[in-house]
Amino acid sequence: MTYNVEAIRADFPILGRQVNGYPLTYLDSGNTSQKPRQVVEAMSEHLLEHNANVARAMHQLGAESTAAFEGARETVARFIGAAGADEVVFTKNASEALNLAAHTLGSRLRPGDEVVVSVMEHHSNIVPWQLACQRSGATLRWFDITDDGQLDFDKARAEDLINERTKVVSLTWVSNVVGTVNPIAQVAAWAHRFGAVMVADGAQGVPQRVTDVAALGVDLLAFTGHKLCGPTGIGVLWGRRDLLAELPPFLGGGEMIEVVRMEGSTYAPPPARFEAGTPPIVQAIGLAAAIDYLSGIGMQQVADHEVAITRHLVDSLLGIDGVRVLGPTDPAVDRGGAVAFTVKGVHPHDLMQLTDSRGVAIRGGHHCARPLHDRLGVQSSSRASVALYTTEAEIEVLAEAVAYARDFFAGRTRPHTPRKTFAERRAERAARAAQAGAL
């Protein structure tokens, strides 16, 4: 089936709006994706027709709400290839999922133990492990990267980075800054040789790629709904059933217990053990609707589209004088849909504001990855990130806006001309190519 990006875009009403008199060009999906109407409608229907608390209410609405909530868990499990729905823990976001992992695994750490992360991690996969090491007396170590943004395995082996003292390795699957796709299965095999637990931050990977937790080889996988065309307020920690059963509770409260006495309590089996209090019910239903939507398109088709559109984005930015793309730029290297870059003489915040004035939404800053920016020798960067609904025309609009900003801040003003459509520019290029071939 042909991938029809225009038909997909029709499901996202926000993409049809205007910003500052320009058509919206939304290139900040790595921050949060837009939501199709199907997700909004599923959440609205539940709130209007089935709303009740789960598990506790023994009436008809309670049964309907519980069935929808647990059905969402089953949908997530199928989507990521889990062995069962009891391996899926709902959290409020990926950050909470990683904190859950760090807190519970951290309870087993002792002085002399080591935890391994990387310099390219989002702060949510650094700070929780720092805290766990501070509480336990364990040592935090990390992978360095090469200049093109890949994990530096040669240095890691030379430093004996993963060894018999390693208890946990926690890495991002796909970088939210440089787009690097890390060889998680390879690292997991290395970690498992020493009996270490392998955790993966899938916040950028799961929305962009076909996900099979068995193929990834991880023990725990964290991701979030709002980057997956779902709502905010819902995240997931998947874990191997036997590992989850070994871990202590993260938060205390209702539904995570078996029996409570003043002298002490016993705890429910996973996943309830890790879901204290009223859960994000409608958010989980929205996430399930988003997964159904993406599955209807086909995640392999989504992945193929994002690979192609990211390649076009990288090529377009590399074609602009004064632009440096951070991370892999070799067409043969697989990379994710977040592309960070710098423009000579232009601060990322200034670039973000100027592009926004032309309807182009990108991000500027260190993207919750300051150690990575320090390693790359830049204070901050701009970032454009694509999704299933991103078009080649939008990439062209971004490139035009970046070039305009570069010239503007260099004092080279250009007369404003109406924006040509992508089809018009493509026709002009084809005509020039044909003319050159006739010479």
Residue 425's pLDDT is 55
Q: Which long-range contacts (CB under 8 A, 24 or more apart) does 314-322 make?
A: 314/339, 316/395, 316/396, 316/398, 316/399, 317/341, 317/384, 317/399, 317/402, 319/399, 320/399, 320/402, 320/403, 320/406, 321/406, 322/406
Q: What average pLDDT does range 82-103 have in this prediction?
A: 98
Does position 358 have pLDDT exceeding 50, yes or no?
A: yes
Task: Provide the pLDDT for residue 421.
Answer: 47
**Comparing C-alpha atoms, which of 393, 275, 382 is closest to residue 24?**
393
Q: Say which of 5, 24, 210, 368 is annotated catalytic.
A: 368
Is residue 368 among the annotated active site residues? yes
| Band of residue 2 on the pLDDT scale cut at 50, 70, 90 | confident
User: For residue 97, with 0-12 CB atoms within 10 Å meaning exposed, 13-18 middle and 19 or more buried, which class applies?
Assistant: buried
> What sign for the dihedral angle of Cα 236, 238, 242, 247?
negative
Domains of the chain (ranges; CATH) run 5-30+298-438 (3.90.1150.10), 39-295 (3.40.640.10)
What share of the chain in percent tops pLDDT 90? 91
- Considering only the C-alpha atoms of the chain, give the largest distance between any 2 of them, rounded to a whole number of Å: 91
For 234-258, write each residue's pLDDT tens digit.
Answer: 999 999 999 999 999 999 999 999 9
pLDDT digits (tens, 9 = 90+) for 107-152: 999 999 999 999 999 999 999 999 999 999 999 999 999 999 999 9
Helix 94-106 to helix 127-136 angle (10° resolution) is 20
Predicted TM-score (pTM) of the model is 0.93
What are the E-state strand segments in 57-189? 88-91, 114-118, 139-143, 166-172
Q: What is the pLDDT of residue 1?
A: 65
Q: For 147-164, b where at least 16 C-beta lie within 10 A, e where not — what string?
A: eebbbbbeebeeeebbee
Query: What is the per-residue pLDDT across 280-319, written as a single tens digit (0 to 9) for each?
Result: 999 999 999 999 999 999 999 999 999 999 999 999 999 9
Distance separating the N- and C-terminal Cα atoms of the chain:
39
Cβ–Cβ under 8 Å, residues 275 and 255: yes
Query: What is the layout of strands, in order, in the sheet containing 338-343?
Result: 323-325, 338-343, 381-385, 363-365
Residues 175 and 120 sit within 8 Å (Cβ to Cβ): yes
- For 307, the enclosing helix (H) or strand (E) is helix 299-318
- Is the bond leading into 269 cis (omega within 30 degrees of zero)? no
The pLDDT, as a whole number, for residue 416 is 44
* Tokens representing residue 167 in the block: 């208890």
Question: By percentage, how much of the chain surpasses pLDDT 70?
Answer: 94
Query: Regarding beta strands 220-224 and 235-239, do their DSSP bridges make them parallel or antiparallel, or are they unpaired?
Result: antiparallel
CB 143 within 8 A of CB 151: yes
pLDDT per position as a tens digit, 378-418: 999 999 999 999 999 999 999 999 999 999 998 876 544 44
- pLDDT (tens digit per residue) in 197-229: 999 999 999 999 999 999 999 999 999 999 999
The residue written with tokens 């499990």 in the block is 77
